[in-house]
Amino acid sequence: MALRYALLAALHESPATGYELTQRFRSRLANVWNASHQQVYRELAKLLDEGKLLVESVQQSDKPDKKRYHLALPGEKDLKQWLDQSQPRPPVRDPFLVKLFAGDMLNYKWLLEEIADMRRVSESQLDYYRSVENEYFEQPDTLPGHFRLQHLALRNGIIHTEANLEWLDELEKTVQKGATSKG
Amino acid sequence: MALRYALLAALHESPATGYELTQRFRSRLANVWNASHQQVYRELAKLLDEGKLLVESVQQSDKPDKKRYHLALPGEKDLKQWLDQSQPRPPVRDPFLVKLFAGDMLNYKWLLEEIADMRRVSESQLDYYRSVENEYFEQPDTLPGHFRLQHLALRNGIIHTEANLEWLDELEKTVQKGATSKG
DNA sequence: TCGCGCATGTAAGTTGTTACATGATTTA
DNA sequence: TAAATCATGTAACAACTTACATGCGCGA
């Protein structure tokens, strides 16, 4: 159900095409909500059909037309209602942690490479988050309230990514001390 | 796909019934992988059908019989193979963070209550993780390798829950400074 | 000319959720 | 005697993934 409200919230920020929304999910919203373009297009079609959105056909000189979606009043009402109900915390499902549970079957060398990869990913994520922070939220205290909350959503990504890097250090040390039998 | 391997890994630890596996997912594996009893039973049936598991019917004096599942060799082979392939990081999908993106529609008072709730949840989670740590992993350095990796999976939960509490502090301060228009 | 970014979809399959169902024992 | 725990499932549905499909413009 929540994808629908993620879309409504994104369109409340500003009207956008399916393509643009997909990109937002991959960039600014990456630490908030994830959705593929297939999901986005399908849900937009449904929302439009239900009268929660309006479309505007945007002509482009060379490229084919694109459809810009706007939040309509019924959509805004739905969103408001959803915002007032508390939602369950997302369940954890991390295949890497599953692997640690089968610890004695893991290969030592392979694990260290995985850890190095994950560290690289976390570091570039952190770089990206910080670049967004610098671009959009330079002086948080001077920002209007809702931008400050968006900043806090970003802070969530930063804090957890930093925590993850800490954890990777711990993990690497443990593995290096010879946590596994093989390798 | 990963639920299947979570089950194989859990059964590699020790044979168990569907019910017991469901409980593990809700307790010791809560910070690792989540699955409902319906999913567990369905997947166990499939795995059995495919010859990845063996069943043992355990008679009980009073209660109806229960089925204890054991990892069979083909299942162990599958697991080994899966462990050697790196898996994509789980996508983020957090409805609470979505709400922060619609910041200017949020109610100030409601938000503060939500934050208080989340803090309570995180704190009791942390208590639970720490009780498990004390029970199973008192002197990590003396443990066999694979238990040390299980401990690290738990450490992941601890570190991220602590990070979350930090973040909640930040968020609360921001909201109290008057982040939203209403309330 | 090959691939990439823009731009939009359909279809099939897998995974996860919610609701329903049963029946015994234990605890308040 | 009512609720909770043990113990196992089925069925319908919603959500998400993967594969397939089309077509234009731009840069190497």
Q: Which residues of B touch A86 (CB under 8 A)?
A: 114, 117
Question: A33 in the Ramachandran plot: left (φ > 0), alpha (ψ -120 to 50) or beta?
Answer: beta
Q: Does A142 touch chain B (CB under 8 A)?
A: no
Best mutation target, B92, B117, B171, B180, to test chain A (most A CBs within 10 A): B92
A183 vs B17: which has the higher pLDDT: B17
Q: Does A158 touch chain B (CB under 8 A)?
A: no
B102-105 contacts, C-beta under 8 A, 24 or more apart: B102/A8, B102/A9, B102/A12, B102/A13, B102/A79, B102/A83, B102/A146, B103/A145, B103/A146, B103/A147, B103/A148, B103/A149, B103/A150, B103/B179, B103/B180, B104/A144, B104/A145, B104/A146, B104/B180, B104/B181, B105/A12, B105/A79, B105/A80, B105/A83
pTM here? Answer: 0.94
C-alpha to C-alpha distance for A84 and B115, rounded to whole angstroms: 13
Which bases in strand D are touched by protein, i.e. have an atom under 7 Å from a CB?
A: 6-12, 14-19, 23-26
C-alpha to C-alpha distance for B178 and B106, rounded to whole angstroms: 12
Per-residue pLDDT in tens (0 to 9) along chain A, 183 residues: 899 999 999 999 999 999 999 999 999 999 999 999 999 999 999 999 999 999 999 887 667 789 999 999 999 999 999 999 999 999 999 999 999 999 899 998 999 999 999 999 999 999 999 999 998 888 877 888 788 999 999 999 999 999 999 999 999 999 998 755 554
